[in-house]
C-alpha cells in the first residue's frame, strides 16, 4: 500500500524546521509495511498542479496530513485536492487541532475520511494493515470516522509507555538539502508529557501529565543520526527539557562521553533550572534556552495557573547569564482578565530582564482549558477562523481591553523593534556594524532570501538555462544560475547571488547538462552522501534565531 504523508505549508515567522511529528508517523507507517513518501510543502511551494504531478509519480492509496490549528486550513485544502484528483483515495488527518475537534471536523469536511487522535504512532501501525486489507476500522483505538451516516469515535488509546520502542523519525524521506539550506535547528524530543496545568496550553492533554523519558543512549543515537545528514544544530522540543535534573544530566554525560560536537537549544521552565544544570548543558553544547514566562503581573500568572513567580523568572535569567547560556523569554498578550495595566507590567518586566524576548497573542486552541471553560474567564473569543490562530494578531478581548488595543500594544513594540532592525541594517550596509551585529543581520537576510527561493520554487522556475545562454563551463553555469535566481529574489541582488553560490559550494544545489540544456536542482543530500557540516552550515546563529522569534522577522 502506498501512503503519501503531507507536511503542509508553515510561515517563516514560525522558524520552520524539519517536521518531527510527520516523520515519526511516517516511520511508524513504514514499520507497518506501507510504502511511504513525504510530500513536503514547508520548504516547497504548494500548488494543486504540482500535487497532482507528484501523485502521478507516486499514486497513493492513502493521503495523510497532520497540522496544528494555524495551518489546519492549509492541510485541509491539500486533503480536499487529493479527493478531487482521486475520489477513491483514503484521507487521514492527525495532529493537535483535529484531536480536539474530531467530530466537528468530520461533520463539516466530508473529504476527511479518518482522524487519528492523540499520539499517532501506535494507532497508524494498527490502521495501516486494516486500510490495506479492508478490515474493521472500529477495532482501531484512537480514531474517528464515518459509518452508516454517523460518526464513530473509537476507544481512546493509552499513551505510549516506552518511547525508545518507536522507530527513529523518517528523516530520510525529507528534502534534506532544502532544510540544510534554510538553516533552522532540527527538532528532537527526549521526553513526552507535561506536569503543569497552564490554561492556554494543549501539552498536558495531548501527551499526558506524566513525563515519559527516552534513554540518554537513544537520544544521543538520534542526535548522531541527525548530524550524519550534515546538520549541525538541534533544538530539544520537549515541553520542559529541564523538568528532571537526572535525565538532563544523563543526556549531557552521554553527549560528552561520545564527544559529539554540535550546538543545541532547549525549551525550559524558570523554576526547574540551576546553575549546575545550565553549566552541564553548556559543556555539552547547549548555547540557548527559551522560557515561557507569559506575564509580568503576578496575579495574571496565578490566573492562568502558570505555577511560577516573577522572582523565579528573574533568577533563571540571571543563572543563564552567569553560565554563558543565551536566554530568551516569551510573553502572551490577551490572557483572561488582561488590562492596560497588566500589559504595562509585562512590558516593563520583559525589558528589565535584559534579554531577547517576544510577545505573542493568546490563541485559544481547541482542547485548551481557556477555550473549553470560556465562561469561567474574563475573555471573549472573537473568531473561529483557524487561519488567524497564528498568535500574530488579537482574536480575543477582555472586559477591560479590546482586540484593537492589544494589537496597538504589540504594534508599538514592533515599531521599536523595527527601528532597531533598520538601524542595524543601515550599519550593516555602511560597514560600521560590530562583528556580532554583522553576523546577526546577514544571517536574517540570508534566511529570508533562502525561504523565498524555497517557498516560490525559484530553483525549479529559473534553473533551466536555455541553449542560447548555456554555459560552456561550470563557472559560467554557476554565474548564470545565480544571476537568474538573484534577479527573481529581488532586493540585495549581490547578497542573494552570494547566498545562492554558497548553497552551490555546499553541494545543496547542483546542475546537470543534457544536450544544450543545463538544469539546476536541489540535491537529494541523503544520509549516505552527506558530508560533515560545512563551516557556514547554519545561516541562522543562536542570536539571529532568537531575534527572529522576537515579534516577527522585519
| Structure confidence by residue, pLDDT tens digits, 362-380 | 999 999 999 999 999 999 9
Query: What's the pLDDT at 52?
Result: 98
Question: Is a pLDDT exceeding 50 seen at residue 548?
Answer: no
* pLDDT for the residue 533: 38
- ∠ CA 351-353-357 to the nearest 5 degrees? 65
Question: What per-residue confidence (pLDDT) applies to 130?
Answer: 97
DSSP label of 103: H
| Residue whose grid cell is 520502542 | 165
The pLDDT of residue 95 is above 50: yes
260-302 pLDDT tens trace: 999 999 999 999 999 999 999 999 999 999 999 999 999 999 9
Cα–Cα distance, 390 to 363 (Å, whole number): 7
pLDDT of residue 203: 85
pTM: 0.91
Average pLDDT, the chain: 91
pLDDT at 443 over 90: yes
pLDDT band for position 549 (cuts 50, 70, 90): very low
In this predicted structure, what is the pLDDT of residue 491? 87
CA–CA separation, 268 and 266 (whole Å): 6
* DSSP-derived secondary structure for 9-37: ---GGG---S-HHHHHHHHHHHHTT-EEE
| CA distance linking residue 144 with residue 141, whole number of Å | 9
Question: In the prediction, which pLDDT does 235 show?
Answer: 97
pLDDT at 552: 30
> What pLDDT does residue 464 have?
86
| 454 close to 182: Cβ distance less than 8 angstroms | yes
pLDDT band at 204 (very low <50, low <70, confident <90, very high): confident
Please name the residue that has the C-alpha cell 504548494.
46
The string of pLDDT tens digits covering residues 106-123 is: 999 999 999 999 999 999
pLDDT tens, position by position, 451-501: 999 999 999 999 887 764 544 556 677 888 898 899 999 889 999 999 999
Q: How far apart are alpha carbons 101 and 360 in whole angstroms?
A: 23
Gap between the Cα atoms of 56 and 66, Å rounded = 22
Put the strands of the sheet holding 233-236 in their side by side order: 186-188, 233-236, 263-268, 286-294, 326-333, 356-361
Tell me if 220 sits within 8 A of 171, measured CB to CB.
no
CATH code of domain 175-432: 3.20.20.70
Spatial contact of 444 and 418, defined as CB atoms under 8 Å apart: no
pLDDT above 70 coverage of the chain, percent: 93
CB half-sphere exposure, 440, CA atoms < 13 A:
21
Residue 439 has pLDDT above 90, yes or no: yes
Torsion angle, alpha carbons of 369, 372, 377, 378, to 10: 120
Instruction: Delimit the domains of the chain by residue range.
Output: 2-153, 175-432, 436-523
DSSP conformation class of 71: G
CATH superfamily membership of 2-153: Cobalamin-binding domain (3.40.50.280)
Amino acid at each position: 500500500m502506498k501512503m503519501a504523508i503531507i507536511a503542509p505549508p508553515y510561515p517563516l515567522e514560525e522558524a520552520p524546521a524539519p517536521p518531527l511529528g510527520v516523520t515519526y508517523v511516517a516511520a511508524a507507517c513504514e514499520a507497518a509495511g506501507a510504502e511511504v513518501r513525504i510530500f513536503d510543502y514547508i520548504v516547497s511551494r504548494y500548488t494543486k498542479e504540482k500535487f497532482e504531478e507528484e501523485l502521478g509519480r507516486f499514486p497513493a492509496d492513502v493521503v495523510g496530513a497532520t497540522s496544528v490549528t494555524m495551518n489546519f486550513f492549509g492541510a485541509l485544502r491539500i486533503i480536499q485536492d487529493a479527493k478531487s484528483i482521486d475520489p477513491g483515495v483514503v484521507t487521514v488527518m492527525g495532529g493537535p487541532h483535529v484531536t480536539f475537534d474530531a467530530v466537528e471536523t468530520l461533520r463539516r469536511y466530508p473529504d476527511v475520511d479518518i482522524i487519528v487522535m492523540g499520539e499517532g504512532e501506535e494507532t497508524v501501525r494498527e490502521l495501516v494493515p486494516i486500510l490495506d486489507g479492508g478490515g474493521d476500522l472500529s477495532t482501531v483505538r484512537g480514531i474517528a470516522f464515518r459509518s452508516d451516516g454517523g460518526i464513530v469515535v473509537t476507544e481512546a488509546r493509552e499513551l505510549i509507555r516506552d518511547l525508545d520502542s518507536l522507530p527513529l523519525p523518517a528523516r530520510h524521506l525529507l528534502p534534506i538539502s532544502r532544510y540544510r539550506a534554510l538553516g533552522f535547528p532540527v527538532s528532537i524530543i527526549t521526553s513526552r508529557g507535561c506536569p503543569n496545568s497552564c490554561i492556554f496550553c494543549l501539552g498536558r492533554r495531548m501527551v499526558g501529565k506524566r513525563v515519559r523519558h527516552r534513554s540518554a543512549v537513544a537520544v544521543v543515537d538520534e542526535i548522531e543520526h541527525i548530524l550524519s545528514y550534515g546538520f549541525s544544530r538541534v533544538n530539544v522540543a520537549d515541553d520542559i527539557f529541564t523538568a528532571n535534573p537526572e535525565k538532563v544530566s544523563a543526556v549531557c554525560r552521554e553527549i560528552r562521553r561520545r564527544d559529539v560536537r554540535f550546538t543545541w537549544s532547549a525549551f525550559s521552565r524558570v523554576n526547574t533550572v540551576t546553575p549546575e544544570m545550565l553549566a552541564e548543558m553548556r559543556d555539552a553544547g547547549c548555547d540557548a534556552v527559551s522560557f515561557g514566562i507569559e506575564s509580568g503581573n503576578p496575579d495574571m500568572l496565578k490566573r492562568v495557573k502558570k505555577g511560577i513567580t516573577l522572582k523565579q523568572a528573574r533568577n533563571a535569567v540571571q543563572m543563564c547569564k552567569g553560565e554563558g547560556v543565551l536566554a530568551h523569554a516569551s510573553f502572551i498578550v490577551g490572557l483572561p482578565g488582561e488590562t492596560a495595566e497588566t500589559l504595562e507590567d509585562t512590558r516593563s518586566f520583559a525589558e528589565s530582564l535584559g534579554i531577547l524576548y517576544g510577545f505573542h497573542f493568546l490563541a485559544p486552541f481547541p482542547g485548551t482549558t481557556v477555550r473549553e471553560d470560556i465562561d469561567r474567564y474574563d475573555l471573549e473569543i472573537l473568531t473561529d477562523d483557524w487561519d488567524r490562530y497564528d498568535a500574530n494578531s488579537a482574536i480575543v478581548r477582555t472586559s477591560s481591553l479590546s482586540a484593537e488595543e492589544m494589537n496597538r500594544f504589540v504594534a508599538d513594540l514592533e515599531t521599536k523593534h523595527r527601528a532597531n532592525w533598520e538601524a542595524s541594517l543601515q550599519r550593516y550596509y555602511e560597514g560600521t556594524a560590530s562583528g556580532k551585529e554583522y553576523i546577526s543581520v546577514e544571517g536574517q537576510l540570508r534566511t529570508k532570501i533562502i525561504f523565498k527561493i524555497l517557498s516560490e520554487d525559484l530553483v525549479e522556475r529559473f534553473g533551466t538555462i536555455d541553449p542560447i545562454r548555456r554555459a560552456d563551463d561550470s563557472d559560467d553555469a554557476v554565474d548564470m544560475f545565480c544571476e537568474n535566481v538573484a534577479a527573481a529574489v529581488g532586493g540585495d541582488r549581490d547578497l542573494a547571488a552570494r547566498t545562492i553560490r554558497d548553497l552551490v559550494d555546499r553541494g545543496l544545489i547542483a546542475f546537470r547538462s543534457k544536450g544544450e540544456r543545463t538544469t539546476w536542482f536541489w540535491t537529494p543530500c541523503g544520509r549516505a552522501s552527506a558530508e560533515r557540516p560545512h563551516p557556514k552550515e547554519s545561516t541562522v546563529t543562536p542570536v539571529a534565531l532568537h531575534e527572529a522569534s522576537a515579534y516577527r522577522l522585519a
